[in-house]
């Protein structure tokens, strides 16, 4: 009886893990789309030839299909939103938001060099990337045995790029 109970508990635990990870991806995708309402870019920055807002996703990421689905339903101030998967060899800075699916610091250095001097808002969920120059970085915080996804903003880097982040968003963030 005890052995069956332990096996049942383990099955329940492992079944819950993908759901939590999926919820986290949903949260991050919704957050990224909502950033369009809380960040002001210089006029015309990051739009493609047809005037659509571009969100680039660097590296294979589970977030791409979620962003694509959300973008299909969303316009920002009447402007269409386009999601593009890119590689490090592409023009990754030709966008308003660049989500980095990579967690490799060697890739980060290349990415930051390519976006330096542009208005691309960089977003990541890799540990310490906010400290290294990513503008918005997701991190997990544990309180009372529960993990919660939070975000930090490197305001100095965003300011240097000419981006204006809403005070509403800044109040919710950990500023680094």
Percent of the chain at pLDDT above 90? 60
Mean pLDDT estimate for the chain: 83
CATH superfamily of 2-175: Response regulator (3.40.50.2300)
Segments making up each domain of the chain, as ranges: 2-175
pLDDT, position 49: 61
Percent of the chain at pLDDT above 70? 81
Which of 10-14, 25-29, 163-167 has the weakest average pLDDT? 10-14
pLDDT for 100-130, tens place per residue?
988 888 889 999 999 999 999 999 999 899 9
Angle between helices 63-73 and 2-34 (to 10 degrees): 50
Average pLDDT over residues 70-89: 84
pLDDT, position 13: 32
Question: Residue 107 burial (CB < 10 Å; 0-12/13-18/19+)?
Answer: middle
pLDDT band at 6 (very low <50, low <70, confident <90, very high): very low
Average pLDDT over residues 68-94: 86
H or E stretch at 14: helix 2-34
Longest dimension (CA), the chain: 67
pLDDT, position 17: 33
């Amino acid at each position: 009886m005890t052995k069956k109970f332990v096996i049942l508990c383990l099955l329940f635990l492992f079944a819950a893990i993908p759901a939590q990870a999926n919820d986290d991806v949903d949260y991050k995708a919704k957050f990224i789309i909502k950033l369009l309402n809380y960040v002001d870019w210089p006029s015309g920055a990051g739009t493609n030839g047809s005037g659509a807002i571009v969100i680039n996703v660097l590296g294979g990421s589970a977030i791409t299909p979620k962003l694509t689905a959300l973008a299909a339903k969303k316009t920002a101030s009447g402007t269409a939103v386009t999601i593009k998967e890119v590689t490090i060899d592409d023009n990754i800075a030709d966008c308003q938001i660049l989500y980095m699916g990579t967690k490799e610091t060697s890739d980060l250095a290349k990415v930051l060099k390519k976006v330096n001097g542009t208005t691309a808002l960089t977003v990541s969920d890799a540990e310490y990337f906010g400290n290294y120059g990513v503008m918005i970085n997701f991190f997990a915080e544990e309180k009372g045995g529960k993990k919660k996804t939070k975000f930090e903003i490197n305001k100095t880097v965003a300011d240097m790029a000419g981006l204006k982040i809403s005070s509403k968003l800044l109040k919710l963030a950990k500023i680094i």
